[in-house]
Amino acid sequence: MKERAILDAALAALRREGCEGEVFLELSKATKVAVSGRVVESLEVREERGIGIRAFKDRRIGFSFTADLSSEGISRAAARAAEIAALVEPDPANQIPRDDREPQPLELLDRRLAEVSIARKIELALATEEAAFASDRRVSHVRQSAYEDGVWTVAVANTAGLAREATMSRAVLSIELKATEGEAAQTGWHAAWGRGVEGLDPAGAGREAAGKATSKLGAMPATTARMAVVLSPEVTASLLGELSVLFSAEAVIRGRSLLAGRIGQPIADARVTLVDDGTHPLAIESQPFDGEGVATRRTTLIENGVLRGWLHSSYTATRMKESVTGNALRGGFASRPGISKTNLILRDTGVSAERLLAGVTEGVYVMEVMGLHTINAVTGDFSLGASGLRISSGRLAGPVDRMVIAGEVLGLLSSIEAVANDIQFLVSGPGATVLLRNLAVSGQ
């Protein structure tokens, strides 16, 4: 069946079960190539087709999914969802998603990607590896150089009349390698992405990964002190991604966010403004609507240091008597919608990265962090392993590693002194160079 017919069949099956409801459809095709030592190690080409169905009845919700898109398969999935709904506890906030806002038109599909041959995709992965070896003789081993892409169509419809559909594409090059010099060894990783292969630069990706590894050779332990810490755009993007759970309305309702009860209060330096923007044309997680069909939008979370809002699903917006934000995202048709960020962006403070660095007398430039997943969303405590470069008199100096940066999240947000205007739209999300003042750094 065609997409619209599948949606209509699922909604009709829900009504036959005496339920209101929603259907989420996903059709996708993806390729992944991994090479190492100039040899193709793996090649995967997969296609997925399926629907997720939520049945709503008497403030109860049941969920089921199926890859069987025949009339019989759809009817069975709707019946299972209805059966499950009858067994769960009712909740007044369980309501069919509604949204009066029209999704913004976004160019998220490169139609040429579907025509790219497997041979060309293998060539891109091999070229990335070759560029890494060619860029520096100290590159001794490539653990993996990979090309991965996907073209997927998603559609959402519900019995309240909401119906939306979009097709998107993405291609990613990534490489992880090791550089050695004498007995010293360091690793480097880099990834680049585009909507299609024309936007990918395998030579640049290989050089970037090699440069990250070789720049750390000969690293010394950091000095134990409180000092200025400058985060690279990559580290900023990864850190914001881990902190995003603090802004989840679901986490707030469950008492799992230290920000609960702080709306309207200062939680960061007055120079900090943070937004979640699911509509940015250059960002990797942009999409016209979320997993409930609600249009994505720009949501201000922190404004001039003050906490202004949460990331919502339809359920949490109803429960907290607030507006939806388009952040009920899914991992695929077999997943229920769950609250997640799209693209977290820090507003710059009008300074270039060069000028930001020039203002640091002594400190560290952090290029890599470990242990981000250990940040405690309830207490805010963190202790992160890190490596990077020393900063001396406004200039990048020798490499440092075996350092630990510790503190708590509100202190971290309050320590932000400047955000450079060098935003990069990375695989891990939007990131910019950020200056943090007076952080505790321990050498090991």
* pLDDT (tens digit per residue) in 124-151: 999 999 999 999 999 999 999 999 999 9
- Return the pLDDT at 1: 64
223 pLDDT higher than 90:
no
Write down the mean pLDDT value for the chain.
97
Cα–chain-centroid distance for residue 157? Answer: 25
**pLDDT tens sequence across 401-440:** 989 999 999 999 999 999 999 999 999 999 999 999 999 9
Residue 392, strand partner residues: 362, 395
How far, in Å, CA of 167 to CA of 217, rounded? 44
Q: Count other C-beta atoms under 10 Å from residue 42's C-beta.
A: 11
- Return the pLDDT at 50: 98
How far, in Å, CA of 335 to CA of 292, rounded? 12
Q: How confident is the model at residue 444 (pLDDT cuts 50, 70, 90)?
A: low
- Return the pLDDT at 301: 98
**pLDDT tens sequence across 156-176:** 999 999 999 999 999 999 999
The contacts of residue 322 (CB under 8 Å, 6+ apart) are: 249, 309, 310, 312, 316
The contacts of residue 261 (CB under 8 Å, 6+ apart) are: none
How far, in Å, CA of 358 to CA of 371, rounded? 29
The average pLDDT across 80-96 equals: 97
**Nearest C-alpha neighbor of 113 from the set 27, 195, 200:** 195
3-state secondary structure of 374: helix
Phi and psi (nearest 5°) for 254? -85, 0
How far, in Å, CA of 184 to CA of 214, rounded? 10
Q: How confident is the model at residue 2 (pLDDT cuts 50, 70, 90)?
A: confident
**pLDDT tens sequence across 227-284:** 999 999 999 999 999 999 999 999 999 999 999 999 999 999 999 999 999 999 999 9
**pLDDT tens sequence across 36-81:** 999 999 999 999 999 999 999 999 999 999 999 999 999 999 999 9
How many angstroms separate the Cα of 332 from the Cα of each of 11, 53, 294?
Answer: 19, 12, 16
Q: In the chain, pLDDT over 70 holds for what percent of residues? A: 100
The average pLDDT across 74-91 equals: 98
How far, in Å, CA of 355 to CA of 270, rounded? 20
The owner of tokens 């069949």 is 9
Full DSSP string of 109-123:
--GGGGG--HHHHHH
Residue 164, strand partner residues: 156
3-state secondary structure of 102: coil
The average pLDDT across 318-347 equals: 98
Tokens of 269: 């330096």
Domains annotated on the chain, with CATH: 3-214 (3.30.2290.10), 219-444 (no CATH)
The owner of tokens 């040899």 is 39
How far, in Å, CA of 145 to CA of 34, rounded? 6
How far, in Å, CA of 339 to CA of 247, rounded? 10
The average pLDDT across 30-37 equals: 97
- Return the pLDDT at 310: 98
**Nearest C-alpha neighbor of 229 from the set 84, 49, 47, 403:** 403
Q: What DSSP state is assigned to residue 182?
A: T
- Return the pLDDT at 161: 96
Phi and psi (nearest 5°) for 167? -125, 135
- Return the pLDDT at 443: 84
pTM reported for the whole predicted model? 0.96
Q: Count other C-beta atoms under 10 Å from residue 233's C-beta.
A: 21
- Return the pLDDT at 194: 97
199 pLDDT higher than 90:
no
User: Do 230 and 360 touch, CB atoms closer than 8 A?
Assistant: yes
The contacts of residue 205 (CB under 8 Å, 6+ apart) are: 128, 131, 173, 174, 175, 190, 191, 192
Q: What angle do CA 424, 426, 432 make, to 5 degrees?
A: 35
